[in-house]
Amino acid sequence: MRSELYIDGKWVKALNGETRNVINPATEEVIQTISAASAEDVDIAVKTARRAFDHDGWPRLSGAQRAKYLRAIAKGIRKRQEEISRLEHR
């Protein structure tokens, strides 16, 4: 499991270096420590996502091309279904 933020196509730590514990509510066990995004991290993420949407290929793709990407994402989710299920359960 990754603990960083995914911003602009890269895994990065929060700019302020802060982290948060993810707690299993059933056992109160810490199951992961993750980077805690600051307002500045969120601003950067939103700006880069907006730039990617406005200037990269997605808006110009046909419905068939978009469907190809969405099917590939669904395939990846199905491939990791057991892992995702375990994480959701925790």
HEC secondary structure over 35-59: ECCCHHHHHHHHHHHHHHHHHCCHH
- Give the SS3 label for residue 63: helix
Q: Determine which helix (DSSP H) or strand (DSSP E) holds 13, and give its type and residue range.
A: none
pTM above 0.85, yes or no: no
Say what the pLDDT of residue 55 is. 86
Would you write out the chain's pLDDT as a tens digit for each of its 90 residues? 789 999 999 999 999 999 999 999 889 999 999 999 999 999 999 999 999 888 877 888 999 999 999 999 999 999 999 999 988 877
**All residues at 6 or more sequence positions from 52 whose CB lies less than 8 Å from its CB, including other chains:** 8, 58
How far apart CA 50 and CA 6 sit, in angstroms, is 15
